[in-house]
Structure 1
Amino acid sequence: MWIGWNEFDILLGDVHSLKTKRSVVRPIVAEIRKHFQISVAEVGDAQLHRRAQIGVSMISGERSHIEEMLNSVEELVARRPEVELLSSKLRVLQASDF
């Protein structure tokens, strides 16, 4: 069994309140969840107006499947015009590594 996750550090555009931040981040999280059917959540920078961290994770029997899916999610986030993807941290481990 393979376990993979990716953490995205994103800079939000013209955002001046936490309410506006939620209106930008929630649609991204919902689109990832709907399109890829994987686990996704805002995982950090909750009190910062212009920054967000979004995490995605999945398990599979094939490492290549995880890498392909998580790279596709990264491309989706990077294409969003209202955010700038600052960094992405992709990790893939085999269950026996624990």
Structure 2
Amino acid sequence: MVVAVYTIVIIISESHSLKDKRRVLMQLRDKITRKFNVSMAEIDHHNLWQKTTLGIACLANEQRHVNQVLDQVMNAIYRLPFLEVVDCRKEFT
């Protein structure tokens, strides 16, 4: 069994309040978790309205599958025009 976690620091340029940020993150979480069957949560920068750190986790029997799914997740996030990925790290356990 392979568990991989992406830690992603994101700037949300269209956010002008915490309410805007939460709305964007909720939509992003719903879209990503529904499409890719991964877990996602905000893990840092809770009180900043344009910056967030997300944790995205995936579990599978093979590392190849985990890599494929997480790469697809990152491609989907990179394509969103209102988000700027500042930092991204992948860890396996």
Q: Which runs of 4+ in 1 moved over 4 A?
A: none
Structure-2 separation of matches of 1:38 and 1:6: 11
Aligned to 2:11: 11
Aligned to 1:78: 78
Structure-1 separation of matches of 2:92 and 2:41: 18
- Give the SS at the match of 1:48: coil
Structure-1 separation of matches of 2:43 and 2:73: 16
Aligned to 1:96: none
- Give the SS at the match of 1:88: strand
Asked which structure has the greater CA Rg, the reply is: 1
Does the Cα contact within 8 Å between 1:21 and 1:49 map onto a contact in 2? yes
Aligned to 1:44: 44
Does residue 90 of structure 1 match 2:90? yes
Structure-1 separation of matches of 2:48 and 2:6: 20
| Offset, 1:69 | 0.7
Aligned to 1:28: 28
Does the Cα contact within 8 Å between 1:29 and 1:42 map onto a contact in 2? no
**Matching residue's letter, 1:21:** K
Q: TM-score, normalised by structure 1?
A: 0.88
Alignment root-mean-square deviation, CA: 1.0
- Give the SS at the match of 2:81: coil
Structure-2 separation of matches of 1:7 and 1:92: 11
Unmatched runs of 5 consecutive residues or more in structure 1 = 94-98
- Give the SS at the match of 2:78: helix
